[in-house]
Amino acid sequence: MNTYRIALLAGDGIGEEIMAEAVKILGIVSSRHAEIGFELIPAAFGASAWFSTGSCWPAETEELCDAADAILKGTIGLGHTESRQIPPDQSPEKGLLMMRRRYDTFANFRPVYLPGFLAHFSPLRPEIIGDGIDIMIIRELVGGLYFGEKEAGVNTQGLRYAREILEYDENQIHRIVLVAFETARKRRRKLHSIHKSNVLKSSMLWTDIVDEVSVDFPDVEVNHMLVDAAATHLCLRPTEFDVMVMENLFGDILSDQGGGILGSLGLMPSACLGPDKSYYEPSHGSAPDIAGKNIANPYSMIGSVAMMLEMSFGMDREAKNLWQAMQQVFAGGYSTPDISKPGSDITMVSTEEFGDRVVAELTKLPA
């Protein structure tokens, strides 16, 4: 039997509730595969960890993650008042960046997926969504402004200033661009490289490298698109995108826009892949306003489990089953109050019941 060790970092806000559904799913998956076992190890992370241990990324959590085969993370961050008690340089977001840096998780996959029958979730008109949206946003996750040198202070004119550096070297760009081409090759063979090379030197280098790598992928259609134009295009013609690749900050912004066109970030799981270790997380925050109410949709958390099964454990077929099971629950007319409007013909269910329904659908599919 192959036992995978998974560190569970539920985090803050709705993190615990949606993580409970992920755990439920992992239990079912292992019962469907006698040869696979999961050892699940919960660990403190985020603002709640700061209040209990004095650190958002405690040493003990780091050790557990070091020893794990993969990390499944929930959500981080608390409401404004509580967050203000944590010094900014020790914030949960800082903890998250430390984790990204430690495991060099440079390749962030954020699927923006909406089958035609779920068009009602989206604020876009049905004719824009057509048969459905299926985009893979690939975001560079450990470089650029997020990790560049930073300083702030008072300048020689006595004015407060802040400065941060956007730097990429060719290797950092090359490895993410390569991942994007390889991904496009497995999908619809269309790649949009998103940049701002009419202004930024880092984007000029980025674009050069995309062109260089494209020589080895003659079967993949390459489109260079300015990031501002891409923002518009995502709203007007989302179905024209297949794979999009971009640097860290552009990816942060456009992937949230992707959540917007789906109707909710609650529909966006993600995978953050490093050379030796990967972690999986919903793309959204901890939604403190609805925490503890059993109404948060666990789709992004369960979707992150599906991505982990596929990308870390090679369980491609079970990952597909899991996606299908979730779509079946929606297709059956069930959803949770956080992502659906009351008054439609949708039956509102709780976080837990949504998870139970996914389990029921999964069990119908051959393992």
Residues engaged in binding ligand IPM (CB under 6 A): 93, 96, 252, 283
Known active-site residue 94: no
Determine the residue with CB nearest ligand IPM. 93
* Residue whose entry in the numeric block shows the structure tokens 């007319």: 333
- Considering the complex, what minimum distance in angstroms separates the CB of residue 139 from ligand IPM? 8
Q: By CB under 5 A, which span of 112-120, 132-140, 250-258, 344-352 interacts with Mg ion?
A: 250-258
Q: By CB under 5 A, which span of 57-65, 129-137, 144-152, 244-252 interacts with Mg ion?
A: 244-252
- Considering the complex, what minimum distance in angstroms separates the CB of residue 2 from Mg ion? 34
- Active-site residue among 256, 293, 320, 334? 256
Q: Choose between 145 and 348: whose C-beta lies nearer to ligand IPM.
A: 145
Known active-site residue 196: yes
- Considering the complex, what minimum distance in angstroms separates the CB of residue 201 from ligand IPM? 23
Known active-site residue 252: yes
Known active-site residue 256: yes
- Considering the complex, what minimum distance in angstroms separates the CB of residue 253 from ligand IPM? 9
C-alpha span between 19 and 42 (Å, rounded): 10
- Active-site residue among 228, 289, 316, 364? 228
Q: Choose between 23 and 96: whose C-beta lies nearer to ligand IPM.
A: 96
Decide which of ligand IPM, Mg ion, none touches 221; Cβ closer than 5 to 8 Å per partner kind: none
- Considering the complex, what minimum distance in angstroms separates the CB of residue 19 from ligand IPM? 17
Q: Is 252 in the site for Mg ion (CB under 5 A)?
A: yes
Q: Which of 7, 43, 11 is nearest to 285 (CA)?
A: 11
Q: By CB under 5 A, which span of 178-186, 251-259, 314-322, 358-366 interacts with Mg ion?
A: 251-259
Q: Choose between 255 and 297: whose C-beta lies nearer to ligand IPM.
A: 255
- Active-site residue among 146, 168, 279, 299? 146
Q: Is 21 in the site for Mg ion (CB under 5 A)?
A: no
Decide which of Mg ion, ligand IPM, none touches 96; Cβ closer than 5 to 8 Å per partner kind: ligand IPM
Q: SS3 for the chain, per residue? A: CEEEEEEEEEECCCHHHHHHHHHHHHHHHHHHCCCEEEEEEECCCCHHHHHHHCCCCCHHHHHHHHHCCEEEEEECCCCHHHHCCCCHHHCHHHHHHHHHHHCCCCEEEEEEEEEHHHHHHCCCCHHHHCCEEEEEEEEECCCHHHCCCEEEEECCCCCEEEEECCCCCHHHHHHHHHHHHHHHHHCCCEEEEEECCCCCHHHHHHHHHHHHHHCCCCCCEEEEEEHHHHHHHHHHCHHHCCEEEECHHHHHHHHHHHHHHHCCHHHCCCEEECCCCEEECCCCCCCHHHCCCCCCCCHHHHHHHHHHHHHCCCCHHHHHHHHHHHHHHHHCCEECCCCCCCCCCCEECCHHHHHHHHHHHHHHCCC
Q: Which of 243, 52, 217 is nearest to 134 (CA)?
A: 243
Known active-site residue 208: no
- Considering the complex, what minimum distance in angstroms separates the CB of residue 39 from Mg ion? 30
- Active-site residue among 24, 113, 168, 196? 196
Using CB under 5 A as the binding criterion, the count of chain residues that bind Mg ion stands at: 1
Q: Is 247 in the site for Mg ion (CB under 5 A)?
A: no
Decide which of Mg ion, ligand IPM, none touches 93; Cβ closer than 5 to 8 Å per partner kind: ligand IPM
How are beta strands 36-42 and 2-11 bridged, if at all?
Answer: parallel
Residues lying near Mg ion in the complex (CB under 5 A) are found at 252
Residues serving a catalytic function are 146, 196, 228, 252, 256
